[in-house]
Structure 1
Amino acid sequence: MIPTDFVCHHCFKNSFVSATPIAASSSPYLTIIHFSFSLINHYWYIRPNDQPPEYWGVILENCPTTSTPIIIHLFDTMFYEKLNHAISHVLGTFEDVFEDQQYGIVEETIRQLQSIRASTEMSEVCVHAELQIDHYCDGRILLAFEESSSTDGMVPASKSSIELLEPVEANERNSNDECLVCLDELGEETQVVRLPCSHMFHAECITKWLENSHYCPLCRFEMPTN
């Protein structure tokens, strides 16, 4: 089982686009573009001492295929804007996931459509965009996860002990300090809490962690359990 709810961080995204004509026409216009999307999540763990990352697994999410009518000449000066709008429309609920990749998807779609048009006529085309997301997590978190799993079966901390965690005011922390769960800076605007062992974490991060393991991710201090 991949513990995706709390240990995967530092996501790097890459998109891959393919276009295939499915109907021929003598018209210089595209009438329908069929879009399909898939998300491929790869999970990696950064190991100590500059060792290669450890591959943990993959999760594939298929998005529903959607068709949208788009009547447009390939060399229309508004081609980019119209195609970008069409892609935004069919992405629907996945638009936020693809947001930082959409420019590249549109550019690659245009390039492939123009290449196809140069060799064949078409009135319909299938465009598939695959977004590969590589999740990386610090190996210290993996070690704590494995130790907790092997020794205690991932026993969570008690709900009451999580609710009683001490909040840390902004003037009590260094904004450059890291949360050892997400590995991002604690910052001054986020909610931070302190465990009894004095280690500080983002409140949301450590809550998710303690809902799965009652150990401090850093020093292995044991929180109360039910």
Structure 2
Amino acid sequence: MRWLLAPLARLIYRPVVHGAEWVPREGPVILAANHRAAVDTAVIALTTGRPVSFLGKEEYFVGRGLRGRALASFLSALGYVPVDRANAKAGLAALAAARRVLDGGGAFAIYPEGTRSLDGCLHRGHTGVASLALSTGAPVVPVGLIGTERVQPVGVRIPRPRRVVVRFGTPLDFSRYDGLEGSSAIRRAVTDEVMDAIARLSHQEYVDTYHERPAA
């Protein structure tokens, strides 16, 4: 994936990457990014400089036939970790899967908003990113993605050739909160600090409400 797709993506989308040196070359790290388009995951995977894991719907990995196996292999190569989101305890399963990646010294990417922004604003983050940082001790590298919404606007299936900018920020260390991961107030404070860093990198307007998709 890295040898074949990265050069092709750089040729077509001409990404501008800032701050790549802030991503540790080894050891556990959480990449917390804004989310503007479906293509964001591929952009992060191909510009980070090390393998990155993401959460993916379990049903994507259990398809039958050649097409199903090809999709599962493709997503696995991109670093997706299957999670059963239909389970009542899907949130806990997702955190457990992420912890396994971090405990193994891997890089894990998360979108704290929980879904793509449809209004262009950066919305309030869910506290899963704080739970991971506090329970594993992994540093959080904030990521600002700029222009991906023009590459793949909502409703567009095939990405368009547009330039994107990826800005990695200074790693955030939350070791000062060791032993306090059970506090909802601490988790909220950590999440808000992460979102503030993302806002400064992405240049998005911050809205202190959770993003809700419009009714179908």
TM range (shorter): under 0.3
With normalisation by structure 2, the TM-score equals: 0.26
With normalisation by structure 1, the TM-score equals: 0.25
Greater C-alpha radius of gyration: 1
Structure showing the higher helix proportion among its residues: 2
Structure showing the higher strand proportion among its residues: 1
